[in-house]
A and B are shown apart, each in its own frame.
Chain A
Amino acid sequence: MVSEEKNIILEVRNLSVGYWKKGNDSVVAEAINFSIEKGELVGLVGANGIGKSTLLRTLTGMQDALNGAIFLKGKNLNEYSSFQLATQLSVVLTEAPASKNLSVLEMVSLGRQPYTNWIGSLSEEDKKAIQFALEATETATLAHRKCFELSDGQMQRVAIARALAQDTPIIILDEPTTHLDIYHRAYILKLLKKLASETQKTILFSTHEIDLAIQLTDKMLVMAKNETYFDDPCKLIEAGRFDTLFPKETIDFDGKTGRFTIRK
């Protein structure tokens, strides 16, 4: 495929996402088209309930697409076994780990599961990947703490470390900045930016921090009511794509500063 030359790693063509309900499909969002290159940081924004999570669930293979196709490294997502997919794509979900009794090191080590043998013993390579993940997210000092002892900000870094340890070319994060204060929101997004440029991983995340995302991301995917736009943040501002995101009478987008202001 031509995607080899342009280094396109994730390509979505005419995708419809939603749910099957007894033969009738209820479409949440449709006609989604975009292609993401290697090493790009992409922010997915849109109002609550517009279908961001549904789109991410479809992209990660957790639910089937209603229509259209997703290509990962030029190969249709359906053709990947769940095991193969685990070495290509890792996730950071909004949910906390089920067991809070896991230590940070244990949780990050679990990211190596797709590579370990049936006893799950760690090879030198596994240990290196774990060490790298801990250092990159500045969680090495937390390694022997239990998950229930961590703050929300630390927990999110550990969740990212686990995905890093899985060592996949793509990482998809669902709202990694919720429940965090302004400092940690900026910290997490800067961390993602750094990881994308230094490790050449492709990182796609959904967020409500539109102004922060505009400043940091390479590309943005804007989900509006009837259409989905994908482009550089600056071009999206020029085209006025953020203006119609929310009802005008309550909140207004200022194209010069790239911020939303409340209408008084």
Chain B
Amino acid sequence: MQTTQANRVQFIVLFIALIAAFLVNLGMGSVSIPLDEIISVFIGNGASKETWRYIIMDYRLPKAVTAMLAGGGLAVSGLLMQTLFRNPLAGPFVLGLSSGASLGVAILILGAGAFGGFFGTILMSQWSLVIASALGSFLVLLAVLAVTFRIKDTMAILIIGLMFGSVTTAVVSVLSYFSNAEQLQQYIFWSFGSLGNQSWEGVSILTLCFLAGLGLSVFSSKSLNGLLLGENYAKSMGLHIKRTTFIIILATSILAGSITAFVGPIAFVGLAVPHLVRQFYKTSNHFVLLPAVLLCGSLLMLVCDTVAQLPFSEFTLPINAITSLIGAPVVIWLLVRKRKLFF
């Protein structure tokens, strides 16, 4: 594979853009805080107002970090899935992980009505949402992994993942049908996705999961390069297909599962970012694509979150809608311009 020399410019631009987006993101919100105050807080000098320091350190900073982790992680898992299934339509959610998470949350929120009263209110804490969606995606993950052990054909795994997704979506529909308006609204709010309201404790758990998933991805990069030739060629070069498939699916599940658990199902990023990156990087080498996709995903998510804040207003739009609203036209424009979907 080629060296990364030729792509240095892209990396520098991407990195600068990411830092700029990070600072802008911290500066935007219902309270406007000047840039020099933000930098002052970071250096440790504190801000001229104590509330500003609090807003930055305990609300905006964890939100920005969550945005970067979520965007980068989803984009990386999208790259892994597209290469593993050799399918440009694959994304982190083709394995049914987000549907699993949705099911977990749906059972919690919509099912809580069944318990009612005191028990119902205990179930509704923020952590219980996270735990429910984590459990949901974890169960689907176990099912998918069990399938990968038995089945040789990766395309079959793809179909089975989609089937799991359909089943869980159907169960959620049935649950929604029988629940009242208030519960339904709460569920729908969760499904909008939210980057805010993360405690530092939550952010550190997310970071751990993120690092684990990323580590496995980097470890698989050479195998991913081999898989670009197809399974049979990869096998002829000494690659253990089953072991590789297992590790790649595990990495995706850890990334997408943990992110969905914390910020809700965020569509689009995982599917689109790898395609965006392929337009600008003239390589298929995963040792180049992986960091590029990671940076680009983080950048996209930060920008989307900044827009979602509706600068200078008190409203916050659902992040899930913004990613698609901003991202989809960009991808359509790129594809129409280049007339070719690279994979």
Contacts and interface: CB of A to CB of B under 8 A. Distances in A.
B81 to A, nearest CB: 14
Interface in B206-263: 219, 221-222, 225-233, 235-240
Contacts of A118: 219, 222
Contacts, number: 98
Contacts of A97: 228-230, 233
Contacts of A93: 230, 232-233, 236
B1 A120 contact: yes
Given A85-B238, A106-B284, A114-B238, A95 B232 contact: yes
A244 interface: no
A119 interface: yes
Contact of A113 (B219, B222, B231, B287): B222
12 contacts: A93-B233, A102-B284, A103-B283, A103-B284, A105-B2, A106-B284, A109-B2, A110-B1, A110-B229, A114-B237, A118-B219, A166-B237
Contacts of B86: 98-99
Interface of B: 1-2, 83, 86, 219, 221-222, 225-233, 235-240, 278, 282-285, 287, 340, 342-343
Interface residues of A, number: 38
A86 B237 contact: yes
A194 interface: no
A118 B1 CA distance: 13
A111 B237 contact: yes
Nearest to A116: B222
Interface in A82-102: 82-87, 89-91, 93, 95-102
B284 A113 contact: no
A95 B228 CA distance: 12
B237 A99 contact: no
Closest 8 CB pairs of A and B: A86-B238, A83-B238, A98-B230, A99-B228, A98-B86, A120-B222, A113-B237, A91-B236
A107 interface: yes
A237 interface: no
A82 B1 contact: no
B222 A98 contact: no
A207 interface: no
A103 to B, nearest CB: 8
Contacts of B284: 99, 101-103, 106
B240 A82 contact: yes
Taking chain A's interface residues, is the majority helix, strand, or loop, or is none over half, making it mixed?
A: loop
A60 interface: yes
A96 B343 CA distance: 14
Nearest to B283: A106
A120 B225 contact: yes
The winner among B230, B233, B239, B282 for most chain A CB atoms within 10 A is B233
Contacts of A62: 232, 235-236
Contacts of B236: 60, 62, 86, 89-91, 93
Interface string A97-140: 11111110111011101101011101000000000000000000
B220 to A, nearest CB: 10
B219 A110 contact: no
Given A90-B236, A96-B230, 8 more contacts: A62-B236, A85-B238, A95-B233, A97-B233, A101-B342, A105-B2, A110-B225, A113-B237
Interface in A193-226: none
A223 B52 CA distance: 82
A111 B225 CA distance: 11
B289 to A, nearest CB: 11
A100 B230 contact: no
A113 B225 contact: yes
A89 B237 CA distance: 9
A166 B229 CA distance: 14
Contacts of B230: 93, 95-98
A206 to B, nearest CB: 15
A122 B238 contact: no
Contacts of B229: 97-99, 102, 107, 110, 162
Interface string A54-76: 00000010100000000000000
A145 to B, nearest CB: 11
Contacts of A111: 237
Nearest to B278: A101
A102 B228 contact: yes
Contacts of A110: 1, 225-226, 228-229, 237
Interface string A149-162: 00000000000001
B287 A106 contact: no
Contacts of B231: 98
B233 A109 contact: no
B23 to A, nearest CB: 33
Contacts of A119: 221-222, 287
Contacts of B285: 106, 120
